[in-house]
Amino acid sequence: MRKILLTGCLGQIGTELTLHFRKEYGDENVVASNRTKKDFPEVIDGGPFELLDVLDANRLAEICNKYKIDTIVHLAAILSAVGEVKPQHAFNVNLNGLYNVLEVARENDMQVFTPSSIAAFGPSTPPDNTPQDTIQRPNTIYGVTKVAGELLCDYYYTRFGVDTRGVRLPGLISHEALPGGGTTDYAVHIYYDAIRYNRYESYIAAGTKMDMMYMPDCLKAFTLLLEANPDRLIHRNAFNIAAMSFAPEDMEKEIKKHLPDFELSYNVDPVRQAIADSWPNSMDDSCARDEWDWKPDYDLAAMTADMLKQLRIKLAK
């Protein structure tokens, strides 16, 4: 059975991925870690948990050794909007953190899985049906670190034989942990505000399409690619994966099917709007479909129905 270490496990993805992996691989085989503790008792108390700053290479090696880790799922990162506020910090965490993970994996023959993002593309990338292999000239620090991370993972595979794998994630929508300071966060907050106030003020302008995905599909993609037959993989890192592409007004239309009086207004944030404008409208994920049978389960309608159902329960508590 795999022995997995997750870094940055108390964020939007990690809080759910830890529990998903514990179901799949057994509680004791999944070690959760984060730089700080947060209020997620299920993750912290449901199996091994360690405080770990990914910039501390010695502690990372110590934890891997202590639990005989063979797979690192590296999630610790600074996302796009926070990255523009603290670019030096984003560079440090996103690149030096990944470097520490890859080095410990190289020294101990471990597998590494780490997500890239739609942010690895930029304004000169073809925006529609964005190909797997195309122009990548992002203009955010987050995007710069994501492209560099994709290349670094490829390098560790070809140069050292480290089994690196990863996906380019769209913006994620989920109802457990709130998103950690990205550009696509509006697509989560809109559901919370729909339930609480029956209205939402969007910082992203009407007509701005971005790729998005519901968390269950993200969890499924991680497991599928982690377990994929390596002989079938032509690409390894940074597979485009897509599920749905929409603009704020598409969400409004869908939410109104459940809450007819819901109102959407706009107060555009120029920083996050510029980031969104530089990202693809929709990615071509045919390589992921061909090489490891990727296929999403949720579209906007199915996700909206489930998000509203789950949040009604959560926010009533």
Q: Which does 35 bind (CB under 5 to 8 A by kind): ligand SER, ligand NAD, none?
A: ligand NAD
| Minimum distance from residue 81 beta carbon to ligand SER (Å) | 6
Number of chain residues interacting with ligand NAD (CB under 6 A): 29
Residues 30-59 that bind ligand NAD (CB under 6 A): 34-36, 52-55
Q: Which does 75 bind (CB under 5 to 8 A by kind): ligand NAD, ligand SER, none?
A: ligand NAD
| Nearest CB to ligand NAD, comparing residues 99 and 263 | 99
| Nearest CB to ligand NAD, comparing residues 93 and 229 | 93
Residues near ligand SER, by CB under 6 A: 79-80, 117-119, 142, 171, 182-184
| Nearest CB to ligand NAD, comparing residues 259 and 299 | 299
| Minimum distance from residue 62 beta carbon to ligand SER (Å) | 30
Residue 142 designated active-site: yes
Asked if residue 280 binds ligand NAD (CB under 6 A), the reply is: no
Residues 83-122 that bind ligand NAD (CB under 6 A): 93, 97, 115, 117
| Nearest CB to ligand NAD, comparing residues 93 and 264 | 93
Q: Which does 53 bind (CB under 5 to 8 A by kind): ligand NAD, ligand SER, none?
A: ligand NAD
Asked if residue 18 binds ligand NAD (CB under 6 A), the reply is: no
Interface characters, 146-175, with ligand NAD (x: CB under 6 A):
-----------------------x-xx---
Q: Do 4 and 67 meet the contact criterion of CB atoms below 8 Å apart?
A: no
| Minimum distance from residue 118 beta carbon to ligand SER (Å) | 6
Q: What is the Cα–Cα distance from 213 to 246, expressed in whole angstroms?
A: 10
Q: Which does 80 bind (CB under 5 to 8 A by kind): ligand SER, ligand NAD, none?
A: ligand SER
Strand order in the sheet with 164-165: 49-51, 30-34, 4-7, 71-74, 111-113, 164-165
Residue of 99, 142, 186, 192 with catalytic role: 142
| Minimum distance from residue 20 beta carbon to ligand NAD (Å) | 13
Q: For tokens 């690409």, what's the residue? A: 235
Beta bridge partners of 26: none
Please provide the distance, in angstroms rounded to a whole number, between the alpha carbons at the two ends of the chain: 38
Catalytic residue list: 142
- Interface residues toward ligand NAD, by CB under 6 A: 7-8, 10-14, 34-36, 52-55, 75-77, 79, 93, 97, 115, 117, 169, 171-172, 179-180, 182, 184
